[in-house]
Amino acid sequence: MGTVERRRWSGASALTLLCATALLAVSAMTGVAQAAPMPEPGAKSLEQVRKEIDELYRQAGTATDAYNLAESEAKAQSAKIVEIAKQVVAGQDRITALKNRAGAAARAQYRSGGMPAGAQLALSNNPSQFLDGADRIRQGEKATTALLSEMNRTQSDLQQYAKDASAQWEKLEANRIKQETSKKQIEEKIKSAEALESKLQAEEKARLIQLEQEAQYKAQTAWLSTGVLKEINTSASESGKKAVQYATAQMGKPYEWGAEGPSSFDCSGLTSQAWRAAGKSIPRTSQEQLRLLPKVAIKDMRPGDLIIYFDDATHVGMYVGDGAMIHAPRPGRNVTLAGAGSMPIKAVVRPDA
């Protein structure tokens, strides 16, 4: 077995051992958990409860992505409004300067008596001097015409700025409403999930964690059994290494929807901040990360790449190598290491392609 193959086998085995150890630890904690009281006829099984809780948190994740996107767009619109305000101030200053120049030209014409050119020629003692003056007058008239045109253009710009500002305010308000709606949905789903968990006995809660880990372990084992790790052999880029280092340093910190650190994160908050720490600004949400970042094949995946999960792209983790990824799972859980195949993979994207 070559060095690369040994490293891959060792990494995969380590991850498998990690999952197995976690399952054994939970089993040890639960002790007689398997002997928990039998549910009443018609009652939901613990596995059904687990799936229901998981689905509620998935729905909360969807709402969180919508909330984060609305928040990101609102920030962009606020910045645009500030920029428009600066343009309006500059335009108003320009109008004032143009009016001052127009006033100076009018005063100069008044001082010349405002007489028609023919009358000035008839009364002039020096026709040559008059013609020179007439040429200057024509130049002045041309300059005045240009001045008025510039004033009109600037006034038109100010009107457009007002329209742009109004449109941005409308978008800002629409996104504020989206945020409020998503926030309510998030809170409702999390509250429902917590209510389900609160009804469980201590041993049932421990068993619930074990069921979660068993489901993840089963999915990861199936993914590894395809031989996928034999194809994944690309090393991380320098910026990818920095992103992984940042993400790894956050392990143990709690999940919190809408959070981007430093003390808590949601899934895309973790990945976006990790890449910001690596010097690369990427979209805030998992759905936007999927839409805007270059996609790569799973066989070409390298540490630092982002794995987008589920058909609706509402979860994201960062691949760290050897079949593992780091992610912020859901409310009530901490940033942790997990199998890259422990959830349905939709796509892999590369921030520094």
* CA separation for the pair 12, 226 (Å, rounded): 13
User: Of 46, 229, 267, 349, which is the active-site residue?
Assistant: 267
If DSSP codes are grouped into helix, strand and coil, which group holds residue 200?
A: coil
267 is catalytic: yes
Inter-helix orientation angle 267-277/238-249, to 10°: 130
* CA separation for the pair 12, 6 (Å, rounded): 10
Q: What are the CA-CA distances from residue 353 to residues 81, 100, 236, 296 (Å)?
A: 32, 54, 12, 9
Q: What are phi and psi of 169, to 5 degrees?
A: -65, -40
User: Of 327, 330, 346, 350, which is the active-site residue?
Assistant: 327
Nearest by Cα to 265 from 328, 206, 326: 328
User: Of 183, 242, 315, 346, which is the active-site residue?
Assistant: 315
53 is catalytic: no
Q: Give CA 19 to chain center in angstroms.
A: 31
327 is catalytic: yes
User: Regarding beta strands 336-339 and 295-296, do their DSSP bridges make them parallel or antiparallel, or are they unpaired?
Assistant: unpaired
* CA separation for the pair 38, 197 (Å, rounded): 17
User: Are 293 and 350 in contact, with CB atoms under 8 Å apart?
Assistant: yes
User: Regarding beta strands 315-321 and 345-349, do their DSSP bridges make them parallel or antiparallel, or are they unpaired?
Assistant: unpaired
- Known catalytic residues are 267, 315, 327
